[in-house]
Amino acid sequence: MIRYALSLFVLVLLALAAQQFIPALTGLYNARLLLVTLVFLCASVTVGPPVMLALAFTCGFLWDAQCALGPPGGDPEIYRYHVEPLRFGYSILLYGVIGYLMQGIQPLFREGKWQFSTALVGISIFVYLTAEYLIINFIRGGFVFTEATLFQIAATSTLTMLFSPLVFWVLFSIAGKFGHEIRFEGLKKKQRSRYRSIA
């Protein structure tokens, strides 16, 4: 369990590095593949609440640190209009919220029904981006939610969700390598083999 958890933190760091090289798709409402958020959401359903919260803190801290070190108001190549700075640490709370959303369907995931987790990844990212945009509106002191913004959030959520089966496959491979069971089926097989050896 410890080796698997540590591997998740390494995977988050690799995702953060790779995120820098993923461009926005201008033909798809400037949608982006949120690789760090994707890795976090997929990993959240494979671990318990303590590890999930530690991952939420790590991802949120690194994400906010990355934004704080960037140009003020956001990268002009990405943000057409000036973006008011958000308080450092808000991402940690948002990651915690969407992490608990994924934890809610953990029993289904452990039964092998990972399709529900894939759908919830898209929903969670939609919730995350919408909440983030609402926070920005609150800081601005007004509320503007255009159709283009809705399409961008929906396209980003869908695009990121489509890559979730690949991340789940990577997580299953890592879990198998370190002997970490994330399915009830594997746990049942181990228990049966123990009972047979005792008998």
Where is 45: in which H helix or E strand? none
**What is the C-alpha separation between 195 and 59, in angstroms, rounded?**
41
Mean per-residue pLDDT, 76-102: 74
Q: Kindly indicate the confidence band of residue 97, based on its pLDDT and cuts at 50, 70 and 90.
A: very high
Measure Cα distances from 121 to 112, 134, 154, 185 in Å: 16, 20, 12, 23
Q: Phi and psi dihedrals of 47, rounded to 5?
A: -130, 175
pLDDT of residue 72 exceeding 70? no
SS3 assignment, position 25: strand
What pLDDT does residue 108 have?
87
Q: What is the pLDDT of residue 76?
A: 54
pLDDT for residue 194: 46
Distance between CA atoms of residues 105 and 111, nearest Å: 10
| Amino acid sitting at position 97 | V
Rounded mean pLDDT, 47-61: 95
Write the CATH number for 136: 1.10.1760
Q: Residue 189 has what pLDDT?
A: 45
45 CB neighbour count, 10 Å cutoff? 25
Domain that holds residue 75: 2-198
Judge contact between 32 and 156, C-beta under 8 A: yes
Residue 107, pLDDT score:
87
Say whether pLDDT at 196 is over 70: no
Q: Is the pLDDT of residue 93 over 70?
A: yes
How many domains is the chain partitioned into structurally?
A: 1
Residue 122: how many CB atoms within 10 A of its CB? 19
pLDDT in tens, 127-163: 999 998 888 888 777 788 889 899 999 999 999 999 9
In this model, does residue 185 exceed pLDDT 70?
no
Q: Angle at CA 79, nearest 5°, toward 24 and 36?
A: 50
Q: Is the pTM of this model over 0.85?
A: no
